[in-house]
Structure 1
Amino acid sequence: MEIVIIGAGMGGLTTGIALKKFGHKVTIYEQTEKILPIGAAISLWSNGVKCLNYLGLSEKIAKLGGQMNDLAYVDGLTGETMTQFSLQPLIQEVGQRPYPVSRADLQNMLMDEFGREDIHLGKRMLALEQQEQRVKIQFADGSEVETELLIGADGTHSLTRAYVLGEQVQRRYAGYVNWNGLVDISEDLAPAEQWTTYVGEGKRASLMPVADQRFYFFLDVPLPAGLENDRSQYQSQLKQYFKNWCPQVQTLIERLDPQKTNRVEIHDIEPFLQFYKGRVVLVGDAAHSTTPDIGQGGCQAMEDAIYLARALQINTLGVEDALSRYQEKRNERTKEMVLRARKRCDVTHMKDEATTQTWYSELRQEQGPHIMQGIIHNIVGNVLD
């Protein structure tokens, strides 16, 4: 079948790879002139890694992934360890190690695997129209293409979603700003093989190991939306936001490169259950835009990719029947992930001070199993279990 994918992000590329493996002719159209990763890195939990393993990418993703053996929460003000434990029981239970990875490294690997010759850049979709068994797509440069199936992997601002739902839904501001980037691994920031999160005052400073001796870092601060975004002010602002925090966090702020640091106002979208209309279907953030608070955004896009490709392969009552089965399989799980991330976001970022202070107290009593069971609950239930 001829298939067009709009968007060359994680979801679009993984979907394209999966569909090609089943023999489909797939072309990706991306609106940007040059593909740049959105964000410095991504935490690929075991369900996302399993999707890539299923596509034959086990060795490649393992090379890109950081060695994350332990997890710790640290009091950001005092530097006192609140809880610290091995992730090995989690890995044993779910059957796969998680991998924090650089987004640029992951995106380049996926583009090479899909085939760069089938990715067309500078193609911004303006409109789409269904005509019997075909979908007609119009681009801003005046060109048009037709296809048997259109997959919208065009992200949180998805035009494809507006077509499927009949309206452009509004994003919801989650209440905090995230700065993220990469720094060299150094023991004066955190242990090299540990995911370390400094918490306090509804804020976070977190470090995760990725390949090539680097930490992926992010810093979260509850702030109003719409504040000025000036790179030259990043370090001075962060020093103020994290004033009186422990030396490790101060050192991180000193070492980050403002020119290579991303600043993002975090949003999500109210979950909805309609993922397709005719021969147009949604994957990834176009279908279920979520906050990054449980690390499942990219993983859920990869689950979409595998199940959509399999639904088209194993169901023979027609394309729309397969899309209906994909929708029924995916919409409740992804809705749950969006709402679970939203709940975690509110606790972490002190939407209610008493609730967050209770969480801090619980962290000091935590031995590992409760946190790991929460992560496992996110991982299990995917299409490959």
Structure 2
Amino acid sequence: MSHEDIRKDTGLRQAGLLNKGFEVQMFERDLTAIRGEGKYRGPIQIQSNALAALEALDPQVAEEVLAAGCITGDRINGLCDGETGKWYVKFDTFHPAVNKGLPVTRVVSRVELQQILARATERIAGADIIQNDCHVVDYEEHVNSSGQKKVTAILEDGRRFEGDILIGADGIWSKVRRKLVGKTEPSYSKYTCYTGIADFTPPDIDTVGYRVFLGNGKYFVSSDVGGGKMQWYGFHKEKAGGCDPESGKKARLLDIFGHWTDMVTDLIRATPEDDVIRRDIYDRPPIFKWTEGRVALLGDSAHAMQPNLGQGGCMAIEDGYQLAVDLSEACEKAENSGRPLDVEGVLKGYFNKRLGRASTIHGLAGMAAIMASTYKAYLGEGLGPLEFIKQLKIPHPGRVGGYFAMNMMMPSMLGWVLGGNTSALRGADRAPHCRVNDKPKAFHEQDFWKFLSDDMALLRAARAKWTLVPAASVATAAQAHSDSIDAAENGERHQFGLRIAYPEAALEICTAGVLIGSGADADVKLDSPVVAEAHARLRNSEAGGYTVEDLASPSGTWLNGRRLQPRQPAQLCPGDELCFGCRETEAVRYRIKMVHASVCEQLSTENGNGLTNGKKTDPEPELVAA
């Protein structure tokens, strides 16, 4: 069999074609990303469906990618209210994968992923297979002097390369697409996106992989990417082409998201200004022409979608697998039958197999963007003069209806997105199996169901300390903990797991809990005229975490702007604001924060307070008050 010659513009799936016996020539416009040069754009999420396709394409490459990735699918993920941080809907991306023998979702450095794939192609076909500084701007189909149908890729510098097939995998601004379907411009999504990576360890990093924080006209995504780093994306509805003043991106972000949960603002503040990138988000409507003659589109050039499902790159990998399999099978049949290979028929078959799934996921990504950016927690939000209605805390009907709809539809939708392409993977290409290292590492697998339904159980499972820090502080969670780090001698535990931090020493906590006031008997003494001698008390909660109880103080104890009824304990949550005294300038305000045990350990070691000898922090929640 004479191998078909593939002239393939930029893409990630060339190793699969090489493994099928094809001669491939890669044209890369810019190799700086592969070399790790230029602006670091952060990791990319590769979900279970794409990882399985990679395994089928090249097991060795898949092993390298899996080893390089940070697993997020082994934890709880989902949607949260942007302002409060409370869970709206949780996702299970673990069982839809393992139940079908698929690898669990990971995030991988873009640079490392490209380097793995580049090494694989060079290992199979030599160092000259990838040509740099080659921008394909046009192509021509023709019949050569031998009567064979060919296609010629034309580069920007005038060079021409002839082959049997041209695969345009050159992205949303594809020149191959433009020639194939005509000039059409990408559609602006009406959203600009800020993104960055922070050296930050959330308190629940062991149990939560990623969150999407919902809002009206904006939303925010955060994800663990491994190595003590968090990647985030902040989306805001505005006109295209906007820009920020020099060193003004973080200020703009805090203007947009500054009143949201600490889980959002802490990430923004922890990110260096120079590491924040801004770009407008574009996509393209689905098209029904991916192929013509000996030319085909693949990935974003065929179906560029919004990033809200994390499936853009995954669809490209699925495309690459399907194309490699179809070409390989067609060549084998042609060789056995002695008939010429019907290239155009193969490419049309590839299009027919991929159109339905890619278009459906394209639509789901658009729906996800609409849902994430039109979320309203309470009636009155976004109503201008009627905004005051929001203070009544009447749940918005859309939020209530969306909650039930999401919980009903999400399991089946995730099952189809993550596992719906399994039937397309030939049995000979991949053996379904589950990887031991894909299992949850911070909790038992049977706890998955409990955490999906019980927010407090998930909160209790965090290996973190609860801290009480000055609400006026604009520091990150780690910096705030640095101000309030446990000063207990030798890190001794007090009853109920509570700890008090003083510049002088820590006090033993009696069975009554932590007394807050201005009197001599107070465990936390606040010097303010509006704070009573015995003002409030913090205790362990039977439900987990802590409660606060006002002790009939004259000026009251306020939780998130609401005055507590005397002698009636109220449950505390991370992000809550506690105000001891009336809501005037004399009042003393604190914020409830959780800080991961590893951060506490590091800060304690650096400051000489508490933990020593690198011992692990006790995983039970503790309260530290500054």
After TM superposition, the score normalised by the length of structure 1 is 0.89
The one of 132, 136, 146 aligned to 1:121 = 132
Give the aligned partner of residue 325 of structure 1: 349
Question: Which structure 1 segments of 5+ residues have no match?
Answer: none
Match of 1:136 in 2: 152
Q: Which moved more, 1:137-146 or 1:300-309?
A: 137-146
CA positional deviation for 1:86: 5.0
Structure 2 residue 190 is matched with structure 1 residue 181: no
Partner of 2:172: 156
CA distance in 2, matches of 1:263, 1:28: 30
Q: State the partner residue of 2:6.
A: 3
Percentage identity across paired residues of the two chains: 24
Aligned to 2:215: 200
The aligned residue for residue 415 of structure 2 is 376
Higher helix share: 1
> Shift of residue 35 of structure 1?
3.1
* Greater mean alpha carbon deviation, residues 362-371 or residues 303-312: 362-371
8 A contact 1:186–1:192 mirrored in 2: no
CA change 1:128–1:51 in 2 (3 A) is same
What whole-Å deviation, never above 9, does each CA across 1:44-95 have from its counterpart, x for those lacking one? 1111111111121332122222222211333221233334465433333343
SS class of match (1:210): strand
C-alpha contact 1:124 1:140 (8 A) present in aligned 2: yes
Corresponding residue of 1:41: 43
Q: Which runs of 5+ in 2 are unaligned?
A: 144-148, 335-340, 383-395, 427-626
Deviation at 1:192, TM superposition (A): 6.3
Partner of 1:75: 81
| Number of the residue aligned with 2:55 | 53
How much has 1:360 moved relative to structure 2?
3.8
Are residues 1:238 and 2:265 paired?
A: no
Deviation at 1:296, TM superposition (A): 1.1
Aligned pair 1:336/2:351, yes or no?
no
Q: CA deviation at 1:286?
A: 0.5
- Counterpart CA distance in 2 for 1:176 and 1:351 is 15
Give SS of 2:296's match.
Answer: strand
Q: Is residue 183–residue 216 contact of structure 1 (8 Å, CA) maintained in 2?
A: yes
Are 1:40 and 1:262, in contact at CA under 8 Å, matched by a contact in 2?
no
2: CA distance, partners of 1:380 / 1:337: 13
* Counterpart mapping for 1:209-224 below 5 A: 209-224=224-239
Paired residue secondary structure (1:51): helix
Contact 2:250 2:273 in 1 (8 A): yes
Alpha-carbon contact 2:96-2:418 (below 8 Å) kept? no
Aligned pair count reads: 379
CA contact (8 A) 1:188 1:248 kept: no
CA distance in 2, matches of 1:363, 1:255: 32
SS of equivalent residue, structure 2 residue 99 = helix
Deviations 1:249-268 (A, max 9, x none): 11111112333333221111
Provide the secondary structure at the position in 2 that maps to 1:270. Answer: coil
Given the alignment of the two structures, is residue 13 of structure 1 paired with residue 20 of structure 2, yes or no? no
Contact 1:29/1:123 (<8 A) preserved: yes
Task: Sort the Cα spacing of 1:312 and 1:86 in 2 relative to 1 into closer, same or farther, 3 A.
Answer: closer
Deviation at 1:307, TM superposition (A): 0.5
Post-superposition Cα deviations, 1:216-255, rounded to whole Å, max 9, x if no partner, equal 2211112221212556221011000102112221111111
Opposite residue 124 of structure 1, the aligned amino acid is H
- Using the alignment, how far apart are the partners of 1:231 and 1:219 within structure 2? 19
Larger RCO (CA under 8 A, 6+ residues apart):
1
CA RMSD of aligned residues (A): 2.7
With over 3 angstroms needed to count, the CA separation of the structure-2 counterparts of 1:146 and 1:229, relative to structure 1, is: farther
Over 3 Å counting, the alpha-carbon distance change for 1:74 and 1:261 in structure 2 is same
Write out per-residue CA displacement over residues 78-125 of structure 1, whole angstroms, 9 at most, x where no aligned residue. Answer: 233334465433333343211122222212211111225311111112
For 2:375 and 2:84, the matched residues in 1 are separated by 22
C-alpha distance in 2, partners of 1:231/1:189?
34
Q: 1:280 to 1:38 in 2, by over 3 A?
A: farther
TM-score (norm 2): 0.56
Paired AA for residue 54 in structure 2: L
CA distance in 1, matches of 2:106, 2:260: 28
Contact kept, 8 Å, 1:185 with 1:192, in 2: the verdict is no
